[in-house]
Amino acid sequence: MVEALIGDEAFIRGCAAIGASLAVGLSGIGAGIAESGIGAAAVGATAEDREFFGLGILFTVIPETIVIFGLVVSFMLIFAM
Amino acid sequence: MFSGTKTAYAYIVARTRVMKSRLLKPEDYKKMLNMSFDEIVRFLEETEYKKEIDAVAYKYTGPRLLDYALYANLAKTYRKIYQVSFGEVKDLIGEYFARWDLWNIINIIRGKMANVNPEIIEETLVPAGQFSEAELKSMLTKEMGEIVKSLEHTPYYNVLSKIGSIPMYKIEDELYKAYYSKLLKISAERIETKLFLNFIKMEIDIKNVKTLLRLKESGESTEEIIDCIIPGGYELTEDEIRKLASLSYEELLKSLEDYWFSKALEKFESLSEAEVNFDRLWIETIAKRASNYPLSILPVLQYIVLKKVEVDDLRILGWGKWFNFSNEEIEKQMVII
């Protein structure tokens, strides 16, 4: 019934948009959860010794790679269609 | 929302790990062993203890200077750990630090009994527990009865109300029993609190086995030994201790081979050496457990114990050097890991 109303191409584009949003959104949430612990530890170590600031930042952004994967998938979904 | 507890642990564990890296190293002790007392104080003035040594240097000299400075630094460090932690971990640390309340209460009571000047009593206090510095100072101005009355809301009141009717060493024993019994009432439903409780139970084991050996060596009766034992150990339950206390000293040493702390009894010449072995084993055990559970209270407790050991070692070193003990004799008493 949905296909009858919006047509094949529009349906696929819609699904791809939902997929892209899920890829970015869920990977963002995952990275956030991972970063909460690392960030807390980085802030703790930096509070004691400022030399840990750079290393702390580096470790904190490592889970961001998951978001980059999500972003790449979402770009592929949106622009490769 | 997802990992609030883990975040609290991650923060305080990272902080205490950095603090741990600033503790004195075994090579520092080796260096200090070859120094005179004054050189040791000068060496410590280049470490974390500088501020505290400078603060009391105008008032004291000799090992008393070192004592006051070390305890002031210990109190400052412990207060900091409590203040910067949050959530469940803060509650657990607070409960653990309540032992310093006992230390302070006992010092105040003993000082009052011996009519010591309140200023001198004040300098022995380590305000790292639940009583603030102001509360402790106000206790110093009170009479004994008023002090006991002011502690009515604490679990120590029942014991303290017996002051005068039983000897002070029994009061001290009872206070520590009340402290540990309060700790053991913490619910062990979650892994974090279970680890904390196991740590406490193992600590009780170490304390009990030391008491057991000391009292047995001095020929105390089974009932006298049981009276001094803290209930709630990890492997040394009350029944086990009752059984062990009825054995002869040689049989007791043989029977202790089956427990988790038996390694400490493998090689020792005197009981004081065995006690140092127990402390060393305890620290190694905590270190192992802390690395197995890095996101728990164990790394924090490890630092808390190591800091206390450092302060004790420096006191032994200071007093030993002041009274011209040999380096070997001093080193034997120290717990260097």
CB contact under 8 A, B3 and A37: yes
**Three-state secondary structure call for residue B46:** coil
Contacts of A41 in chain B (CB under 8 A): 10-11, 13-14
DSSP string across chain A: -HHHHH-HHHHHHHHHHHHHHHHHHHHHHHHHHHHHHHHHHHHHHHHH-TTHHHHHHHHHHTTHHHHHHHHHHHHHHHH--
- What's the burial of B96, exposed, middle or buried (CB within 10 Å: 0-12/13-18/19+)? buried
Contacts of A47 in chain B (CB under 8 A): 15, 84
- The ipTM of this complex is 0.81
CB contact under 8 A, A36 and B2: yes
**Three-state secondary structure call for residue B39:** helix
Q: Is A4 a domain residue?
A: no
Domain extent for A58? 16-79
CA distances, A4 to each of A13, A15, A16 (Å): 15, 16, 18
pTM: 0.90
Find, among B330, B331, B337, the residue nearest to B302 by Cα: B337
Q: Is A3 a domain residue?
A: no
CATH number at residue A56: 1.20.20
| Segments in chain B below pLDDT 70 | 1-4
Q: Residue A4 above 70 pLDDT? A: no
Contacts of B11 in chain A (CB under 8 A): 40-41, 43-44
- pLDDT number for residue B44: 95
Q: Which of B2, B11, B19 is the closest to A41 by Cβ?
A: B11
> Could you give the percent of chain B with pLDDT greater than 90?
59
Q: Is A11 a domain residue?
A: no
Q: Is A10 a domain residue?
A: no
B308 in Cβ contact with B78 (< 8 Å): no
Query: Cα torsion for B66, B71, B77, B82, to the nearest 10°?
Result: 180
**A68 touching B (Cβ < 8 Å):** no
- pLDDT number for residue B171: 92
Contacts of B12 in chain A (CB under 8 A): 44
Chain B, nearest residue to A40 by Cα:
B11
Q: Is A9 a domain residue?
A: no
Q: Is A49 a domain residue?
A: yes
- pLDDT number for residue B1: 44
Find, among B333, B212, B196, the residue nearest to B261 by Cα: B212
User: Distance between CA atoms of B210 and B218, rounded to whole angstroms?
Assistant: 12
- pLDDT number for residue A50: 94
Find, among B292, B336, B296, B335, the residue nearest to B16 by Cα: B296
Q: Is A28 a domain residue?
A: yes
> Could you give the percent of chain A with pLDDT greater than 70?
93
User: Distance between CA atoms of B136 and B127, rounded to whole angstroms?
Assistant: 8
Q: Is A23 a domain residue?
A: yes
CB contact under 8 A, B14 and A41: yes
Number of separate domains in chain A: 1
Q: Which B residues, 286 through 305, put their C-beta within 8 Å of a C-beta on chain A?
A: 295
- pLDDT number for residue B313: 95
